[in-house]
Amino acid sequence: MLLRSVALLALLAACRAPAGDTASADTLLPRGPTLALPPTWRTMSSHEFELWTEETLPEQQATPIDKAGLRDLAAALDEMNLDSVRAAVILGRSRYPTSATILIRRLERRTLGPARHSDCGDTLAAAALARFPDPRRYAQRLVPLAVGPYPHPDLETRVECAATALYAGFDQCVPFLLQVLRIDTSAGLADARDFAVSPTTAWARGRAAEALSQYAGVPVTYRFDGPLASREAEAQRLAERLTLQPVPEGGTQDARP
């Protein structure tokens, strides 16, 4: 991901609910005033953008965005650049239903960008959906982007879709995340993957470990650059913790009865 997007990711992810504290279906936030985007939202410095989002999109309310703003943000998501990351942050911190719709529709286009960093906005869009009230309402549409016959073609975005879906309780994403965790391990050689493995999977493996550990209620001990034996042991530990049978040689992942 783009280095300049790290602070924006932290700005959004820090607001995610604690592990095991997923919002219930009847959770509501007070509605704030409708937001009209300033013309400088794309060009202000990263520091100015951070201050503006924290002040304009407070945590204690859901902030609707006017139609012109939604059109601008949707267009920015399609650009697959740093403006896409800012758009995802704004929509995620809005926590208003129409903002979630924009994020989901973008992800459901299943777009594979031309460059390695093109997926920053989409990855953050998937993460943003975990912070809406009743995330399960939206995350159910992320499940087909994570598992099934037509997943998202970008691995990092697909992993984040799976992480948000798992956060909302859709445990059918666990086997896929375990496969990602087993990339470049001897245990992973038996996996029948439906995704290509590139030389740059460190972020995807680390994110899969975070999502699985959070769901299992255990500390994150996986290190994407750790020794092979340690990475394999952590994948096995999480598989057992999540009541999944280890994958036999040449077999498939099955849930325990």
Residue 127 identity (one-letter amino acid) = A
Same domain, 80 and 205: no
Domain boundary among 126, 144, 162: 144
Rounded to whole angstroms, how far apart are CA atoms 255 and 196?
25
Q: What percent of the chain has pLDDT over 70?
A: 84
The verdict on residue 164 lying in a domain is no
Q: What is the pLDDT of residues 91-110, one digit of tens each?
A: 999 999 999 999 999 999 99
147 touches 162 (CB < 8 A): yes
Same domain, 2 and 129: yes
144 phi/psi in degrees, rounded to 5: -65, -15
The residues, ordered by sequence, that sit 6+ positions from 233 with a Cβ below 8 Å of its Cβ are none
Same domain, 174 and 239: yes
Same domain, 226 and 133: no
Same domain, 192 and 241: yes
DSSP state of 248: P
The number of distinct structural domains making up the chain is 2
Same domain, 96 and 195: no
Q: What is the pLDDT of residues 127-148, one digit of tens each?
A: 999 999 989 999 999 999 999 9
Same domain, 54 and 113: yes
Q: What is the pLDDT of residues 214-225, one digit of tens each?
A: 999 999 999 988
- Which is nearest to 59 in space by CA: 88, 92, 26? 92
Question: What is the residue range of 226's domain?
Answer: 170-245
Q: What is the pLDDT of residues 149-193, one digit of tens each?
A: 999 999 999 999 999 999 999 999 999 999 999 888 877 777 888
Q: What is the pTM of this model?
A: 0.84
